[in-house]
Amino acid sequence: MVEILLAGVLLLISAAILWYLGALVVNAAGLPLGALLAKWHFRRYLAHAHSADRFIGIGDVDSALREIRRAFYLRPVVNNEIAALVAKHHTGLLSRILALTAENHGGGVRLLSLAKVDHLLGERAALQRRLVAVRQGAPLSHRTEVETRLSRNGNELGKALAQLAVEVSAAQPREMKH
């Protein structure tokens, strides 16, 4: 009877150790795999930026704005390398928006939503860096808080981008809109 009880305890301990080791292996493999998938996904957003460049080249402002809005990467990032790439990408997108208005108005058009978008993008970059940090061992409540704030930021940013696109489109001369 004692042997059966001892065997059962040893079986439970062995199962717990195997589960722990398995979790370590999955976690170690998941981080590089997650980064690889995120980079692949980010390339799709870069393609929208390149498409916007083609529309800007032919003077189709509305199509360019549509592609620029699609090019904003509003997903959570998995590491600081991707966070830095996303921040640079967003800066490039804002530059394209400014170029669209400056080209036709010499920079004389006020884009009221631009400051809000810029502020929200700065806040988002800080939240992304914080999310990467809390994923590396902070309590789940901290991670949930950052993810909630990031989601709220994404919603506000989407609205601000829509308003910015309306302002840029309204600032374009009729013959430029297509």
- Look up the pTM and report it: 0.72
User: Does any domain span residue 22?
Assistant: no
pLDDT, tens digit, 9 for 90 and up, residues 107-165: 555 677 888 999 999 999 999 989 888 888 778 788 899 999 999 999 999 999 999 88
Say how far residue 135 (Cα) sits from the centre of its chain: 16
User: Does any domain span residue 12?
Assistant: no
User: Does any domain span residue 8?
Assistant: no
Domain count, the chain: 1
CA distance 82 to 1: 58
User: Does any domain span residue 30?
Assistant: no
Token pair listed for 16: 């717990």
Q: Which residue has the tokens 């950052």?
A: 146
Residue 123's domain comprises 35-177
User: Does any domain span residue 127?
Assistant: yes
113's CB contacts (< 8 A; 6+ apart) are 160, 161, 163, 164, 167
pLDDT, tens digit, 9 for 90 and up, residues 14-57: 888 888 777 666 555 545 666 778 888 899 999 999 999 999 99
What pLDDT sits at residue 18? 86
User: Does any domain span residue 116?
Assistant: yes
Neighbours of 145 (CB within 10 A): 14
